[in-house]
Structure 1
């Protein structure tokens, strides 16, 4: 259990979740999904942004439409939640802040969730959205996959999947607090346990079991990008906190990508929670992170 006291909106909500999960160890996955919809509570509503429900390539989601946005470039937001939780509703406000600051539109995809739909359904859905955007005239190079936590794995793996098919690739990929290690070996899960209010090795393993229940190999590069060859990979942005339990995934990803010649920007802050940019509009550190990502994308 963390020894620090909750001091920001995200640590407060993570602490509340932890208390509920401890009090109800047999909580159903359906109820957990309902709880995780509360994620958006820490994000302020961005001004001058409209939302429209849509389906792209058979994948439902929400279009995020800032006023005067450049519609030739699209952020493809792939939400976190361990491949089994989260939704376009939990992440639409985060996407709104990022799209507005970047000056482009964004589609927040409601990809299929595990365990009903294990690997590779989530990656296939991301590629299907990219195909649909291509059909609408948006070139792949102008699509920026953005993923937080497990969504970062989907963002990276969807690009690897495109490369497998000899397809055009996006020029940029953005990740926030990426979770990639499906072997569940990260050392900072223990060393940062006192400062992370959400992540535990047991909780991660539960989501791994849901995601890989179809029998996929946890060392398959599409399952675990820490085993991927990043030769020719797009520019990669990694945002994380050195006090979160999954910090090692960020540093290992940066090292792996750089070893294969990829251009990597590793932005590390101190003392923040997992996916701290979710607090956009309510925390200066989150607003700064959004601004830095937007500047990098431009």
Structure 2
């Protein structure tokens, strides 16, 4: 019998993702998983310029679009559970953010586990931000953004920069943030039936791969949900209401607001993990990108930037 393709756009996206996951088993190498993940997402338009660069010794790439302002920068941390993903897999999303926000995006190719466990990714993130400052970029014109593990890395980076007394960026954008590597929030149970991809056992396995046996997953530089969030810049947090990591966003927003941080939390109906990566299929992805652009244009260059003290 011929398989009938899904008619619901969300179901079509889920089928596309599952086609990749479904080919993996215990014998699939990490290298193959990374290659498959990079191939999942679409290529960028010819008008998008991609330029490799060393950002403080960390491989990265500048993603530029014709309408981008040269002085405004988003430093982007890709998702993938700290084990897969790359600037290549997120190039189209970065180009979409660059277009919406009219800025340049620097996508960081931070070191991945299990070859490089915590704190390698955090060290690379901080090095890249410090490099931007050393290159003369005004922190009031810089934002951090990321998805999934990369979104959690955004908040961990902010905590690390604040601790070091460095001037903080102007804003942060978090998509489907993974901020609790203990996976202890209520949505890991309440959304287990609705999330088609990410279940708690798999999430905990990714956490073990990132941390090894010697790290406390409640360390705020690992799980920033457990950190002191005072003094952090404005945040836009986007998450789908079907996600098991929903609590990672809602609880972070509550803590940040209690700490005096300006937070805009968007919970998108029927949406799945990092739905923003599927603009061809999902109207919601296009609308979310538009909102990211509006938020970043409002934040970048709009205020004097605090130091992390």
TM-score after normalising by structure 2: 0.89
Contact residue 44 and residue 91 of structure 2 kept, 8 A: no
2 CA distance for matches of 1:29 and 1:259? Answer: 40
2:17 to 9, 14, 18: 14
How far apart are residue 151 of structure 1 and its match?
0.1
Give the aligned partner of residue 288 of structure 1: 287
Residue matched to 2:244? 245
Q: State how far apart, in whole Å, the 2-side matches of 1:231 and 1:65 are.
A: 33
- What is the match of residue 261 of structure 2? 262
* 2:15 aligned with 1:35: no
Question: In the alignment, which residue of structure 1 is the partner of 2:64?
Answer: 65
What is the distance in 2 between the residues matched to 1:6 and 1:60? 38
Shift of 1:46: 4.2
Structure 2 unaligned regions, length at least 5: 1-5, 298-309
Q: Does the 8 Å contact 1:127/1:158 carry over to 2?
A: yes
Partner residue, 2:89: 90
Q: Which stretch of structure 1 is more off in the superposition, 138-147 or 7-16?
A: 7-16
Q: CA deviation at 1:177?
A: 0.3
SS in 2 for 1:88: coil
| Matched-pair contact (CA < 8 Å) for 2:146–2:174 | yes
Structure 1: which 5+ runs fail to align? none
Q: Any runs of at least 4 consecutive aligned residues in structure 1 with deviations exceeding 6 A, and if so which?
A: none
Question: Which deviates more from structure 2 when the two are superposed, residues 219-228 or residues 196-205?
Answer: 196-205
Shift of 1:214: 5.9
| 1:225 corresponds to 2:228 | no
Cα distance in structure 2, aligned partners of 1:7 and 1:223: 34
| 2:306 aligned partner | none
Q: Is the 1:48–1:66 Cα contact (8 Å) retained in structure 2?
A: yes
**2:300 equivalent in structure 1:** none
Does the 8 Å CA contact 1:60/1:111 hold for their aligned counterparts?
Answer: yes
Give, in whole Å, the separation in 2 of the partners of 1:251 and 1:26: 36
Query: 1:263 and 1:73 mapped to 2: Cα distance?
Result: 21
- Size of the alignment, in residue pairs? 291
**Could you tell me how far apart the structure 1 residues matched to 2:271 and 2:247 are?**
15
Give the C-alpha shift of residue 257 in structure 1: 0.8
How far apart are 1:38 and its partner, in Å? 2.6
Distance 2:273 2:19 in 1: 15
Compute the TM-score of the two structures, normalised by the length of structure 1.
0.93
In structure 1, the residue matched to 2:163 is: 164
Q: CA deviation at 1:47?
A: 5.9
